[in-house]
Chains A and B, each alone.
Chain A
Amino acid sequence: MNIIIVGCGKVGQTLAQELNEEDNNITVIDLDGSIVNDVSSRFDVMGVVGNGATHLKQQEAGIKGADLLIAVTGSDELNLLCCLIAKKAGNCHTIARVRSPEYSLEAPYLKEELGLAMVINPEAAAAAEIDRVLRFPSAIKIDTFVKGKVEMLKFRLPEESPLVGCAVKDMASKFHCDVLVCTVEREDDAFIAKGDFVFEGKDIISIIASPRNANDFFRKIKYKINSVKDAMIVGGGEITYYLCERLHRAGIPAKIIEKDRKRCEELCSLWPEVIVINGDAAERETLIEEGVEGAGAFVALTNMDEENILLSLFAKSINKGKLVTKINRIDFDDVVKHLDLDTIIYPKNITSDMILRYVRAMKKTIGSNVETLYSVIKGKIEAAEFFIKDNSGITDKPLAELKLKPDMLIAAIFRGKTVIIPRGNDTIQKGDSVVIVSRVAALHDIDDILM
């Protein structure tokens, strides 16, 4: 693929390096000539010096033949403008990094009306990652797929679980919980779980469910997830804002310690149920007074890497709970790794990883009607997203009446902003997006799912 990357910061450079190694033709644009020079001689990419949001510079970078433009400069407005111009000039896919919450809230609008393929917010992505760490042990793998709209949880079923010996179709009546089982891996085999499928111990199961339903489900099948009981967050920045929202949804109480009084007031008016402490977390007394010792999780999210590391090390010394440390600078990750910290979050790495996953998925869908394609079980099972443009044999019929091919599963339906986890009496309508889980390379068009 021909890819243009605007902005050569850390994220831009990581993307240039990784995508170049995956056999894409990369052109980078940046205002700073020396950075462009450096990047284009370190990696096998072409460099253009100038403002990436101008038509002239985009043309110079070959926007006409480009498949994708990724705007990751420091400015939201510039990134959006880059994408708009690219869309008009070259009709390519566009990805923008947008970090301010005002614009992020508009992400669905931006995507739909301005034709952006992906809007990525590094802080929200980091918050999602922290949320995952707090809610689930590392034994549960979470794949967000279909542009991050669906979360798929993958875990190994313990042998003593009541789910063992139960068939998929009896699950709902036996456990009264709203989850959709997608795939099951048993030894070297992978199955798509249909009604008659019976679970066995040691199966690796993947499910789709909302956070609350997932917790409920895990409790009922007696799977210990060691979700934290509460969390102490130091620093009230953007990540904290997004994290509070997620913790609230999952029902985990949070306590924030923030230096700036004004920010404290903002936060407590946004999340009234959260305890907001106005104080300096760098003072030992404050931390101890607020009960760092007993906190289920300690999350260091200040803007200072050094402070985050120091506070985490202190918390580690007196607390046995989970520990999350955010670090902005990625240059010394090898040194940080050797410190005795549990989970380290690099927002920049998360951003570039998410973009990379999108690009890889995009590369696979060229030449078919599939919008995006994700690997669920490597080399065996994948999830494909289709947009339903017209009425056809599959629309407006209850799903129970559709005669699907074996090894096909409708995993999710998107209607506007809502995600429907499909049941037998749901229908697919014109304008929906549908996610189908199937064996690898089985699908090119949505009509392929019928017998």
Chain B
Amino acid sequence: MNYRMIRYILGWILIFSALFMIVPMITALCYTEKAGLAFLLSAGISAAIGSLYVLKRPAKTELHAREGFVIVSLSWIALSLSGCMPFVFSGAIPHFIDALFETVSGYTTTGASILTEVESLPKCVLMWRSFIHWVGGMGVLVFIMAFMQLSGGQNMHLMKAESPGPSVSKLVPRVRTTAMLLYSIYFVLTLAEFVILLFADMSVFDALNTSFATAGTGGFGVKNTSLGGFSPAVQIIVTVFMMLFATNFSSYYLIMKGSFKDAFNSEIRLFFAIAITAAIIIAVNISDMYGSFGEAARHSAFTVASVMSTTGFATTDFNLWPELSRSLVVILTFVGGCAGSTCGGIKISRIIILFKSMGKELQNLVHPKQVKKIVVDKRPVEHEVVRSVNVYMVCLVMIFVLSLLVISFDNHDFTTNFTSVATCLNNVGPGLNMVGPMGNFAGFSPVSKTMLIFDMLAGRLELFPVLLLFLPDTWKK
């Protein structure tokens, strides 16, 4: 383990965390809020600690796979610890564990909140909540590594550890150029949503926050009713953008290059097929509850997009829906969006591989000596990828069971417990019953909150990097 290099990079992470706080500080200046001072203080502390570590660049900048994983996990923890300070200092969330929950929920783009009431919070605090969604959505480490040139070009390990999806590939030969392309797409899409929302008569502050939260597929709202209070036009725009941000970003690059066939691969086709089918079933199921079928369809489409993209916005309290719709929402929580997007969940590409390997095993029972490879989009999937997807699924189930057990000590009902673990582990945000779209996570004990914080981080970093921190072998020299 190259401990010096890990410390050095963590130092830079803290400095960047301080830089990110400039955004809420500007907001505070615009609205002349005193809470801005809390950001100034937090940024100062972060930058000071960070500078101590970056003073001397280590002689060996080499990073191997395990350092990559460790750096990614520790960076996200460092970001969260640094990012929760303003909540505590401004008095918006006085308890440390609550503030940490909120920050982790922000960075991991979960959107689960412990706040019962958000409209009375200072605008700069709201802006900070949305902005960390945006930063966390695309992941921050690849950005810093690629643009600061901290290590000798071996950023692929970090990219693999931070980006979602079973197998990560580059669009162009260089990590730096690939990162630049992906971040440009992300930036342009966010800007597009912001401008369109302005046209739909949203205020600049609301539009900016909503765009940040949609882009990162986060889900923190600026209103107590999430997006329920906004016009149908706004809701439809957000529906579309939630789907866009849940689509594999490399598809946009392929479309720009003109290779449409590669862009609309089986993952994307299946993603939209599932979304449309689910939206129709729910729309029919809930049509009695709303004035017209059109309104029911709008709420249904919005909810499906929100849950599949793991954003977690709500236009209506789906907790009150019939059981079929409620169950579908929970199932979609696990499905998630496409690999290479900003969303969480198991992801469509993994589900494709899982189903195909199930088919392969069954086929093998019929023809025990048959040789068969799993093929997706006419390309054989490497055995390593299939294995890692299978192990991912096993880890997911085990973490799920353990978390469920831990938070059951609080004695809430089973639906609450089950959906809160599901929603945190898949970075969605709202669950059912107590943690439904109009509820929150304030009722959990600090121990349960810590467990859920772990779930959110594990979910965002796709389990392995976080689990690796608990393996003693990782820390040996």
Contacts and interface: CB of A to CB of B under 8 A. Distances in A.
A41 B68 CA distance: 12
A42 B62 CA distance: 10
A44 B382 contact: no
Contact of A44 (B65, B155, B169): B155
Given A33-B382, A41-B160, A26 B154 contact: no
A44 B153 contact: yes
B177 interface: yes
Interface residues of B, number: 16
B153 A27 contact: no
Nearest to A60: B262
A41 B156 contact: yes
Interface in A20-39: 20-21, 25-27, 33, 37
Nearest to A46: B173
Contacts of A46: 169-170, 172-173
Contact of A25 (B156, B160, B173): B173
B173 A27 contact: yes
A45 B160 CA distance: 14
Given A20-B153, A33-B382, A44 B175 contact: yes
A40 interface: yes
A26 B173 contact: yes
Contact of A40 (B65, B156, B176, B177): B156
B157 interface: yes
B146 to A, nearest CB: 10
Contact of A42 (B154, B172, B173, B176): B154
Interface in B162-208: 169-170, 172-177
A25 B153 contact: no
B160 A44 contact: no
Contacts, number: 35
A42 B175 CA distance: 12
Contacts of A40: 156, 170
A12 to B, nearest CB: 15
B172 A25 contact: yes
Q: Contact size class for A?
A: 10 to 19
B160 A43 contact: no
A25 B157 contact: no
Contacts of A26: 173
Interface in B119-165: 153-157, 160
A44 B172 contact: no
A43 B170 contact: no
A199 to B, nearest CB: 46
A130 to B, nearest CB: 34
Contacts of A45: 173
Given A25-B177, A33-B382, A46-B172, A41 B157 contact: yes
A2 B157 CA distance: 23
A45 B169 CA distance: 11
A40 B156 CA distance: 8
A330 B417 CA distance: 59
A8 to B, nearest CB: 14
B388 to A, nearest CB: 13
A418 B214 CA distance: 70
B187 to A, nearest CB: 23
A43 B155 CA distance: 9
Interface of A: 2, 20-21, 25-27, 33, 37, 40-46
Pairs of residues from A and B, 9 with the lowest C-beta to C-beta distance, nearest first? A25-B173, A46-B173, A44-B153, A41-B156, A46-B170, A44-B175, A26-B173, A45-B173, A44-B174
21 contacts: A2-B173, A20-B153, A20-B173, A25-B172, A25-B177, A26-B173, A27-B173, A33-B382, A37-B382, A40-B170, A41-B65, A41-B154, A41-B160, A42-B154, A44-B153, A44-B154, A44-B155, A44-B174, A44-B176, A45-B173, A46-B173
Given A37-B382, A40-B170, A44-B156, 4 more contacts: A25-B174, A41-B157, A44-B154, A46-B173
